[in-house]
Amino acid sequence: MKDNELSFPDSFDGFSRTEYLSVFIALIYAFSVAEVLVGWSKMLRSRKKIVFSTDHFIFTVSLLLVLILNWYVLWTRVGILTKGFGYFLISFIPVIILYFWSLYVFPDFDEEKDLKKYTDENYNTILLFWATFLIVNIAVAIYLGEIQLTDISVIARSIAIISILVVIIFNLKKFRRVALLINFLVLLSAIVFYSVTH
């Protein structure tokens, strides 16, 4: 090794580099889950003042399930965190999308009490967060060799992405709920798949 090269030890006082890097990603997941749980708690505390929305509920349940599923699947990616900063960033990008999605899915309850109105006004953006996450997560998984482009999971997620993009691009308000349900069903199928195979 040259004198001017930076060298990272594999461990420091019994704390491995993988553990160190995974803690940072775990914190972002924790903040995301906390946003969902805080949003639900605000809804429950203000239940007499809030106009509820079935679609909003499906969005928030879906987001929590996506967070849980991806935290579970992240275990397979922990090993790449120490391969270099680029790999760390690749693992970090999907988590950041989930965090911003968790911030956006709930309104500011001090100003907005009508979840139907909030969801209707922000439907496409919330769907776009979901599509962006799916696209990035597929790209990362393919790049890391976790899946192939022809895997059934990629095909199912691609159908979900296409349903979202068609609704957004052509402004098909009548079909937004169809896109939401397609994505929810793809998510449930992924949960069943991982429950059975892993």
Instruction: Give 148-179 pLDDT, tens digit per residue.
Output: 888 898 999 999 999 999 999 999 999 999 99
| pTM, two decimal places | 0.89
pLDDT of residue 190: 92
Both tokens assigned to 5? 């090269």
Residues with Cβ within 8 Å of residue 97, at least 6 apart in sequence: 129, 132, 133, 136
Percent residues over pLDDT 90 in the chain? 70
Mean pLDDT of 102-109: 96
Half-sphere exposure of 95 (CA within 13 A, CB side): 22
What is the pLDDT confidence band of residue 42, given thresholds at 50, 70 and 90?
Answer: very high
Burial of 158 (0-12, 13-18, 19+ CB in 10 A): middle
What is the pLDDT confidence band of residue 122, given thresholds at 50, 70 and 90?
Answer: very high
What is the pLDDT confidence band of residue 5, given thresholds at 50, 70 and 90?
Answer: low
pLDDT of residue 27: 95
Whether the CB-CB separation of 61 and 36 falls below 8 Å is answered with no
Question: Could you tell me which residue, 36 or 83, shows the higher pLDDT?
Answer: 36
Kindly list the domain boundaries of the chain, sorted by start residue: 15-197
pLDDT of residue 59: 97
pLDDT at 8 over 90: no
d(CA 147, CA 165): 23
Both tokens assigned to 114? 């009508």
Mean pLDDT of 57-79: 92
pLDDT at 80 over 70: yes
Both tokens assigned to 179? 């896109």
pLDDT of residue 4: 53
Query: How does the average pLDDT of the chain come out, rounded?
Result: 91
What is the pLDDT confidence band of residue 183, given thresholds at 50, 70 and 90?
Answer: very high
Three-state SS sequence of 97-138: HHHHHHHHCCCCCCCCCEHHHHHHHHHHHHHHHHHHHHHHHH
Percent residues over pLDDT 70 in the chain? 97
